[in-house]
Structure 1
Amino acid sequence: IAMAGEADGKTYQVSRMPPAALNERILSSMSQKHVAAHPWHDLEIGPGAPAVFNCVVEIPRGSKVKYELDKATGLIKVDRVLYSSVVYPHNYGFIPRTLCEDNDPMDVLVLMQEQVVPGCFLRARAIGLMPMIDQIA
């Protein structure tokens, strides 16, 4: 991209190389406010998968609010509030670029001491697998 301008009676020229094509949508979201990266489709699963992988947190540890990914927008939305003494024991989310039989990304429970803000992603290490069946709310 080349730009030219004039200020204080002097002529200026600015040249800028286009960004490398690593992940066009993520790079685009950094430069254009109307385009956002989608955490399910645009975030890489990571080079160490399946042992170590990226995951996106939807629900923080200790929360009574059930958040979930809005598939159309990529935003985290409030699904419902748990009105009992039950809380989420650990950070709960999903693994990007995965698809399960229920047409959702693969769920992940991240065992750690700290709460993680919904929408953040982190690297996690697989320690086991727990089959689950979703209940329609």
Structure 2
Amino acid sequence: MAGREGSGHSSFPHVALNERILSSMSRKSIAAHPWHDLEIGPGAPAVFNCVVEISKGSKVKYELDKASGLIKVDRVLYSSVVYPHNYGFIPRTICEDSDPMDVLVLMQEPVLPGSFLRARAIGLMPMIDQGEKDDKIIAVA
């Protein structure tokens, strides 16, 4: 390790721990927004990145908070119904309902909300939600 000759110290300046903590607290960190900042990925439209909002088997419906980029709880399903597969959206897309394109990802395991993964499109499920077109991409991962 480089240092001052004979001193046994590194060549990096010594900064007290509390100064480093205060310095890091004064810097504003900005998290990437999953809708706008995540690339759709190479291979799109056949293979694409998608962000999971709802895990397979979940009774909790989450959705993207567009302003913050965080995944928020929308509601809890109080019946015996659960989400059959991971459900989310494709980044950098926008549909007629002003939301990103929805995707239902068929796979064996549940994925945590907020995670992103690569998926391959295998179909489209045309839907109408409250009078608006709200199609879903069906994909596998």
- Residue in structure 1 matched with residue 118 of structure 2 by the alignment: 123
Matched letter for residue 66 of structure 2: K
- Residue in structure 1 matched with residue 77 of structure 2 by the alignment: 82
Matched letter for residue 42 of structure 1: D
Taking a change above 3 Å as real, the CA distance of residues 115 and 11 of structure 1, as seen in their structure-2 partners, is closer
Matched letter for residue 118 of structure 1: P
Residue 48 of structure 1, aligned match among 39, 43, 48: 43
Taking a change above 3 Å as real, the CA distance of residues 9 and 72 of structure 1, as seen in their structure-2 partners, is same
- Residue in structure 2 matched with residue 70 of structure 1 by the alignment: 65
The alpha carbon displacement at 1:12 in A equals 3.2
Matched, 1:36 2:31: yes
Matched letter for residue 112 of structure 1: M
Q: C-alpha separation between the residues in 2 aligned to 1:99 and 1:83?
A: 31
Deviations, residues 63-112 of structure 1 (Å, cap 9, x unaligned) = 01000000000000000001111110000000000000000000000000
Task: Tell me the TM-score normalised to structure 1 length.
Answer: 0.75
Q: C-alpha separation between the residues in 2 aligned to 1:115 and 1:48?
A: 24
- Residue in structure 2 matched with residue 101 of structure 1 by the alignment: 96
Poorly superposed stretches of 4+, deviation over 3 Å = 8-14
* Structure showing greater Rg: 2
Q: C-alpha separation between the residues in 2 aligned to 1:13 and 1:60?
A: 46
Residue 110 of structure 1, aligned match among 101, 105, 108: 105
Taking a change above 3 Å as real, the CA distance of residues 89 and 11 of structure 1, as seen in their structure-2 partners, is closer
Matched letter for residue 91 of structure 2: P
Matched letter for residue 76 of structure 1: I
Q: C-alpha separation between the residues in 2 aligned to 1:133 and 1:61?
A: 23
Matched letter for residue 44 of structure 1: E
Task: Tell me the TM-score normalised to structure 2 length.
Answer: 0.73
Sequence identity (%): 83
5+ residue gaps, structure 2, are 14-26, 132-141
User: How many aligned residue pairs are there?
Assistant: 114
Residue 59 of structure 1, aligned match among 54, 64, 85: 54
- What is the CA RMSD across the aligned residues, in angstroms? 2.4
